[in-house]
């Protein structure tokens, strides 16, 4: 009886091992596919029928147009739908693409807000939502995406103050938020972004003085603050 229980225990361990080994990747792939399928269903206008004809559940998602996957685990690492002329909203399910490093949906006609579920994209390095019709405040949770290098929020309808949390991203190299409806003062903690190379906040309604902390940005090579209501002068 003891020998039987011993071998039975070994069999259970082996079964569980292979179950986890082979089922987990399939589960993750299904999660990614579901997230992209919900996104497709959230599109109300696809004039060139790009997603309609290419994003089929009968073909592997890593072959879908605009989708790139990692070679090893086949998880989605890049989603580039720039200039597809799409109109719709961004569903919260997109936050389940947890291996995503690049998200580019620029130059479309997306509306609404950026769902808070995108805060789960902790591997994200590049987010580009420029030239859409997003509205509301810039989400403060963007500041929790510590791997971000490039953030492009330009040419939308974002309003309110720019979250100071954005400048807690120590690796941020580029921040574009021009041509929005942002107001209030530019956060003083902007000087914490030591790697910032590009800062474009022009054509908003910022007021107050130009933060002297910008002078601490030793890597800065592009600075555009014009067409606001800022006062004072900035010396190089």
Q: Per-block average pLDDT, block size 10, for the chain (236 residues)?
A: 51 46 51 97 97 95 97 95 98 98 99 98 99 98 98 99 97 98 97 97 97 95 97 68
Residue 12 resides in a domain: yes
pLDDT of residue 232: 77
Question: How many CB atoms lie under 10 A from the CB of residue 58?
Answer: 4
Number of domains in the chain: 1
What is the CATH classification number for the domain harbouring 79?
3.80.10.10
Cβ atoms of residues 202 and 178 within 8 Å: yes
In three-state secondary structure terms, 208 is: strand
Q: How far apart are CA 142 and CA 117, in angstroms?
A: 11
What is the CA 120 to chain-centroid distance, rounded? 10
Rounded CA-CA distance 136/123 in Å is 25
* Strands of the sheet with 150-152, listed across from one edge: 67-69, 76-80, 102-104, 126-128, 150-152, 174-176, 198-200, 222-224
User: Do the domain assignments include residue 76?
Assistant: yes
Residues in the chain: 236
Q: For residues 233 and 209, is the Cβ–Cβ distance under 8 A?
A: no
| Whole-number pLDDT of residue 126 | 99
For the sheet with 133-137, list strands across it: 43-45, 87-89, 109-112, 133-137, 157-161, 181-184, 205-209, 229-231
Q: Which residues contact 169 (CB under 8 A, 6 or more apart)?
A: 142, 143, 145, 146, 148, 151, 193
Residue 236 lies in a domain: no
* 132 within domain boundaries: yes
Q: Which of 131, 105, 100, 135 is nearest to 117 (CA)?
A: 100
Dihedral angle sign, alpha carbons of residues 45, 48, 49, 50: negative
pLDDT, residue 46, reads 98
Does some domain include residue 64?
A: yes
Q: Domain residues for 32?
A: 2-231
User: Residues 122, 186, 183, 181: is their CA dihedral positive or negative?
Assistant: negative
pLDDT of residue 58: 93
Flag whether 225 is in a domain: yes
Compute the distance between CA of residue 22 and CA of residue 221 in angstroms, rounded to an integer. Answer: 49
- The verdict on residue 91 lying in a domain is yes
pTM: 0.87
């Amino acid at each position: 009886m003891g020998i039987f229980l011993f071998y039975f225990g070994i069999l259970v361990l082996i079964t569980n091992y292979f179950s986890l080994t082979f089922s987990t990747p399939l589960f993750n792939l299904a999660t990614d596919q579901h997230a992209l399928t919900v996104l497709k269903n959230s599109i109300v206008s696809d004039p060139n029928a790009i997603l309609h004809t290419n994003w089929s559940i009968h073909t592997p998602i890593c072959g879908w147009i605009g989708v790139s996957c990692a070679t090893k685990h086949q998880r989605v690492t890049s989603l580039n739908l720039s200039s597809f002329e799409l109109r719709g909203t961004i569903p919260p399910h997109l936050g389940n693409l947890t291996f995503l490093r690049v998200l580019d949906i620029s130059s479309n006609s997306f509306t609404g807000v950026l769902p808070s579920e995108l805060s789960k994209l902790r591997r994200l390095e590049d987010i580009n939502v420029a030239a859409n019709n997003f509205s509301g405040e810039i989400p403060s949770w963007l500041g929790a995406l510590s791997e971000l290098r490039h953030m492009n929020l330009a040419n939308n309808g974002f309003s309110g103050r720019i979250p100071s949390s954005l400048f807690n991203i120590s690796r941020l190299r580029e921040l574009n938020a021009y041509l929005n409806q942002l107001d209030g003062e530019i956060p003083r903690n902007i000087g914490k972004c030591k790697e910032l190379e590009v800062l474009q906040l022009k054509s908003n309604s910022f007021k107050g003085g130009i933060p002297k902390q910008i002078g601490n940005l030793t890597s800065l090579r592009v600075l555009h603050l014009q067409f606001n209501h800022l006062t004072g002068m900035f010396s190089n």
